[in-house]
Chain A
Amino acid sequence: MTAKRLRAVVALAVAGAFVLAGCQSGNDADEAPDTSASDTAAASDDAADAADDAAEPAGDNIILANITEPQNPLVPTSTNEVQGGRLVDLLFAGLVYYDAGGNAINEVAESIETEDSQTYTVTLNDGWTFTDGSPVTAQAFTDAWSYGANANNAQLNSYFFESIEGYEELQATEDGDEVDEDGNPIPIPLAAPDAKLSGLTVVDDTHFTVKLVQPESDFPLRVGYSAFYPLPEAAFADMEAFGQNPIGNGPYKFNGPDAWQHEVSIDLIPNPDYQGGRVAQNDGIFFKSYTSPDAAWADLQSGQLDITDLVPDQYLQTFETDLGDRAVNEPAAIFQSFTVPDRLPHFGGEEGLLRRAALSHAINREEITATIFDGTRTPANDYTSPVIAGWSDSIEGADVLEFDEAKAKELWAEADAISPWDGTFKIAYNADGPHQSWVDAVVNSIKNTLGIDAEGDPYPSFAELRTKITDRTIETGFRTGWQADYPSLFNFLGPLYGTGAGSNDGDYSSEEVDSLLSQGLNASNIDDAVAAWQEAQSVLLSDLPAIPLWYQNSLGATSEAVGPVPFGWNSVPLYYQASK
């Protein structure tokens, strides 16, 4: 009896200890060599109640903003997505910055001068320092750019330097001895790990020159992008550590070595040594990491978030009426389209031109943007975006973007006369993004107007869709889009429709477009350049290498405490202007 009772007591104790046992395994995980986030989490285990709200900063003028964990280390030349981008933009200052209107304003640069649009002389302002105290010299720029361009460093933004002389050499490769899965030799970079861009010459601490491969009149507009930020000496010693804890010269800096709690939050405070025009009007920005827009929205509604650029679908219809001037919904530098490559059956040559024009006329953009997107897209008038200087809504040939059933049928019939249509017209999209509803609407619009079979073709993930597009094995139309890296018309055209350009997914090639694009780049002033690029656009509108759909709008909302906050040309809130 005693033994049995003892066993019962033990059983209960063990049952109770089950919880503790689980706890124990938790602490094991904690013992991994990590000194940041988990320690605070483990510490609060014991004093959970007392630690309420302890993790969030207290302060009257700290702005709480949303973010999603950046995908790459915070090295400017390797930050190619918008989450890391918004941080890098706050942590660094480049030669120029962009104001809310997308205009490039000198920041570290005192001037960027050229006579032939090919060789630029950059003069820096005196007195700028990084947060580690080292000066922002001409070399800080040229070393950073060379680092970004050198293939040995595998920087995601390296193609940004392709127009600078010496880039080709830094990216050259030869076949190595090792082979990959398919038996192809694995190329190895040829350049020395510390090789520099030959087109960059440091004159003295505040002057350097940039020699481009060819004249590019919009180069000064480009250098505000994150790839062109300077790096301090300390960065090159240990880039990995730098990416986790960057030392910049921007309006903000990390609040201590533990400022970045991965997947949780990032804590920025104003940089007192910052000298540019983007002066912080708050005492810090506390970025909270979200994986769903709904969670961010719930926080905004309960006052636990001040700025969000995520609006959940179910609030799109009402958020502007509910929030008034605290809601943001305006066209952004994001252009969306779908591409039907020439090489697909029925889409080559004259037949293809007719069919693409027919497809374009068959899409009711007004209705789709209003009903599917609740007005969060703006029907496209061209291949660029209204936030870019030089944009026009009346380019010759833009009427191909108007919904016109009769015209669509007529053009389709003309194409059928060349070779009768068979099969199903498909638009491929990635199902991990919010694309199904509009693709369905577009194909239905095509189906109803032209009386052909049309459907969406979902891929499980963006990676899969991109792979098929990149290796040119996709046998359908597919969604395409472009978010500008810097506010210039050329950025929407050159990389997408120039012959052999990096993002020319449809392998479009037109001598006329190529020559107009380069004519713009060679122009001595930006107005002449704009004229040439607009002319290139009218060729595009007749060839339709991609069928323009709409511009995506910047969406966002701010809390009552903060009030309206302007969003930049790149849809990222101008955090430094927020205050409460």
Chain B
Amino acid sequence: MGWYLGRRVLQAIPVFLGATFLLYLMVFLLPGDPIAAMCGERGCAPAVETALRARYHLDQPFLTQYLLYLKGLLTGDMGVAYSGRAITEVIATAYPVTIKLALMAMAFETIFGVAAGLVAGLRRGGIFDGTVLVLSLLVIALPTFVIGFVAQFVVGVQLGWLPTTVGANQSFMALLMPAMVLAGVSLAYVLRLTRTSVSENASADYVRTATAKGLTRSRVVGVHILRNSLIPVVTFVGADLGVLMGGAIVTEGIFSVPGVGNTLYMAILKGEGPTVVSMVTLLVIVFIVTNILVDVLYALIDPRIRYV
């Protein structure tokens, strides 16, 4: 296991370098000139433009720009955003909110998804199963922004139960609605995955054996069926954490959450290379770490899987 982990961590290094390089290249190749955009419709004085280009290394060839960025990165300095803030600071303000949001969403989708999926899977064909299937299909079919706007209008504006937006108020209550909206689609998938997996395992030989041994129903369900059914779910949820963090642009926009999605969106609009690359690189690292965690979890859930 130790060897295995060591290897995985070492593998992460080229992934990290490759990702930053590709990202930097992509942002570099983005058409349009960030300085022109910064100067607005009327443009800056030519000498000012030159000075700005030099400040952000935009006058250097691509490779030099990238190496300068990498050098800064290794010394813990990610550079300065066009707004004059250190990028480390931009990240430090954006990430905590998004992590909080993503974890809340993940908790929703796991708890409610697995619970509902388990019930539906055990009583396949029943009323609950049918209802849940239709509802989850509906959630999958509706785009997130539709659910988001409707929830915001009904729950936030009309009923006034929850704050309509997050902004400065990053409390649990304020984040509740965006987290549920964000979790919606994944919840439907978790539910369906669990349901299928549970109903398959429920008729497996070892479950019959377990029941025949006289084990209680709760033990059969909890230990034998559920535990074996969780493997696809863990894979999905693990990969989903990365998606939740990076892919929350729509939800963060609707609910005005000052997180990664919104910040990234603004940075892309401004063509702010270092900010985009730094934020996305961090997302890549989150993906790598969650993937390792998921693989380790496999071995713990399923005794048949061993790492050497």
A residues lining the B interface (CB < 8 Å)? 4, 7-8, 10-11, 14-15, 18-19, 21-23, 25-26, 29-30, 32-34, 36-38, 40-42, 44-45, 48-49, 51-56, 69-73, 80-81, 151-156, 158-159, 162, 171-173, 178, 180-181, 186-189, 240, 243-244, 261-265, 286, 288-292, 294-296, 298-299, 301-302, 304, 432, 459-467, 470, 480-483, 495, 502-503
Contact of B42 among A36, A51, A495 (CB under 8 A): A495
Residues of B contacting A292 in the complex (Cβ-Cβ under 8 angstroms) = 253-254, 256
The verdict on B167 contacting chain A, using a C-beta distance below 8 Å, is yes
B82–A263 CB distance below 8 A: no
Q: Which of B163-179 contact A (CB under 8 A)?
A: 163-165, 167-174
| Distance in angstroms between the alpha carbons of A150 and B107 in the assembled complex | 55
Residues of A contacting B300 in the complex (Cβ-Cβ under 8 angstroms) = 7, 10-11, 14
A55–B91 CB distance below 8 A: no
Residues of A contacting B97 in the complex (Cβ-Cβ under 8 angstroms) = 41
A contact face: mostly helix, strand, loop, or mixed: mixed
The verdict on B50 contacting chain A, using a C-beta distance below 8 Å, is yes
The verdict on B138 contacting chain A, using a C-beta distance below 8 Å, is no
Residues of A contacting B153 in the complex (Cβ-Cβ under 8 angstroms) = 298
| Distance in angstroms between the alpha carbons of A371 and B44 in the assembled complex | 36
A154–B286 CB distance below 8 A: no
Most buried by A among B83, B282, B293: B83
The verdict on B99 contacting chain A, using a C-beta distance below 8 Å, is yes
| Distance in angstroms between the alpha carbons of A432 and B265 in the assembled complex | 12
Q: Which of B248-300 contact A (CB under 8 A)?
A: 252-256, 258, 262-263, 265-266, 269-271, 282, 286, 289-290, 293, 296-297, 300
B residues lining the A interface (CB < 8 Å)? 31-34, 36-48, 50-55, 59-62, 82-85, 88-97, 99-100, 102-103, 106-107, 149, 152-153, 156-157, 160, 163-165, 167-174, 223, 227, 230, 234, 237-238, 241, 252-256, 258, 262-263, 265-266, 269-271, 282, 286, 289-290, 293, 296-297, 300-301, 303
Given contacts A173-B50, A299-B165, contact A470 B36 (CB under 8 A): yes
A262–B90 CB distance below 8 A: yes
B48–A48 CB distance below 8 A: no
A18–B293 CB distance below 8 A: yes
The residue on B at minimum CB distance from A482 is: B41
Residues of B contacting A38 in the complex (Cβ-Cβ under 8 angstroms) = 92-93, 95-96
Residues of A contacting B92 in the complex (Cβ-Cβ under 8 angstroms) = 29-30, 32-34, 37-38
Contact of B258 among A25, A263, A502 (CB under 8 A): A263
Residues of B contacting A49 in the complex (Cβ-Cβ under 8 angstroms) = 171-173
| Distance in angstroms between the alpha carbons of A4 and B85 in the assembled complex | 52
Contact of B157 among A10, A180, A301 (CB under 8 A): A301
Instruction: Return A518 CB to nearest CB of chain B, in Å.
Output: 20
B45–A8 CB distance below 8 A: no
The residue on B at minimum CB distance from A84 is: B83
Contact of A299 among B43, B90, B149, B164 (CB under 8 A): B164
Given contacts A158-B48, A294-B254, A463-B32, contact A48 B269 (CB under 8 A): no
B96–A295 CB distance below 8 A: no
Residues of A contacting B42 in the complex (Cβ-Cβ under 8 angstroms) = 159, 482, 495, 502-503
Residues of A contacting B100 in the complex (Cβ-Cβ under 8 angstroms) = 26, 41, 45
Given A154-B52, A171-B47, A463-B31, 15 more A-B residue pairs with CB atoms under 8 Å apart are A8-B223, A18-B297, A22-B241, A26-B96, A71-B270, A158-B44, A158-B47, A159-B45, A171-B48, A295-B164, A295-B255, A299-B165, A302-B156, A461-B31, A467-B33
| Distance in angstroms between the alpha carbons of A37 and B90 in the assembled complex | 10
Residues of B contacting A466 in the complex (Cβ-Cβ under 8 angstroms) = 32-33, 36-37, 41
Residues of B contacting A25 in the complex (Cβ-Cβ under 8 angstroms) = 99, 286, 289
| Distance in angstroms between the alpha carbons of A460 and B62 in the assembled complex | 22
Residues of A contacting B282 in the complex (Cβ-Cβ under 8 angstroms) = 29
Most buried by B among A30, A34, A41, A261: A41
| Distance in angstroms between the alpha carbons of A22 and B230 in the assembled complex | 19
A295–B84 CB distance below 8 A: no
Residues of B contacting A432 in the complex (Cβ-Cβ under 8 angstroms) = 269
25 sampled A-B residue pairs with Cβ under 8 A: A11-B227, A26-B99, A30-B95, A33-B89, A38-B95, A55-B170, A151-B50, A154-B51, A158-B47, A159-B45, A162-B45, A261-B168, A261-B258, A264-B93, A298-B157, A299-B165, A302-B164, A462-B32, A463-B31, A464-B31, A464-B32, A466-B41, A480-B41, A481-B41, A502-B43
